[in-house]
Amino acid sequence: MRPSKGRPTRAQAELRHEQLLSCALDMFLEHGFEQATTEMIVTAVGMSKRTVYARYEDKASLFKAAVHRAIEQYTVPIETLKAIETDDLEATLAAVARLRIANMMNPVAIKLQRILTAQSYRFPELFTAAFEEGAGPVIHFLCSVFARHKARGEIDVTEPERAAIAFLSLAVSGPVRIIVSGNLLDETELEARITFAVRLFLNGIRPR
């Protein structure tokens, strides 16, 4: 049976929902959580307040949904990570660092990190989710890489998840903090930082 005239299909309704979250994110990133209003968002997307409030009870709920969607969009897929793996552990780790940094250097991703940092006191769970969901596939991938190289006797990692998090903190978090603060790193300096961090990390996990 065809849907009644004027009533959107499920696909159309989902598309409108995606447009709402995209518009909401743009508004929050441009104006900040405090200054962006639900009225501004519904006007920009062409929806009624009633339609929006039927799904989200308040601005905070809409903000959380928009941020979670953005985190999902800027998460590196596991397939992409698998495609850069080689038998050379140093080369693989450097490639992972480059990919993660490039992903987080996207202008929208940078704005997202800034607004999450600014609103961490109000939405601490979102700040945590940004790391856990965004870095989750990378951590899982690194754990599998460590397991393969440990089986060959090349490294000695007894706590792979902790090691993966430590690697990301060492090789990725530092450069990203610099970039998010508004100070750009040229390609040569960024590559030097990645190389140093990767080698320092490897020195810590190779068998003694």
pTM of the model: 0.78
181 pLDDT more than 70: yes
Mean per-residue pLDDT of the chain: 89
1 pLDDT more than 60: no
Q: For residue 126, is it within any domain?
A: yes
Residue 62 confidence (pLDDT)? 94
The answer to whether residues 120 and 177 belong to one domain is yes
Between CA 89 and CA 74 the distance in angstroms is 25
What total number of domains does the chain contain?
Answer: 2
* Sign for the pseudo-dihedral over CA of 167, 154, 84, 193: positive
Residue 35 confidence (pLDDT)? 94
What domain range includes position 185? Answer: 74-205
Per residue in 87-146, pLDDT (tens digit) is 999 999 999 999 999 888 877 787 888 888 888 889 988 878 777 787 889 999 999 999
The answer to whether residues 89 and 146 belong to one domain is yes
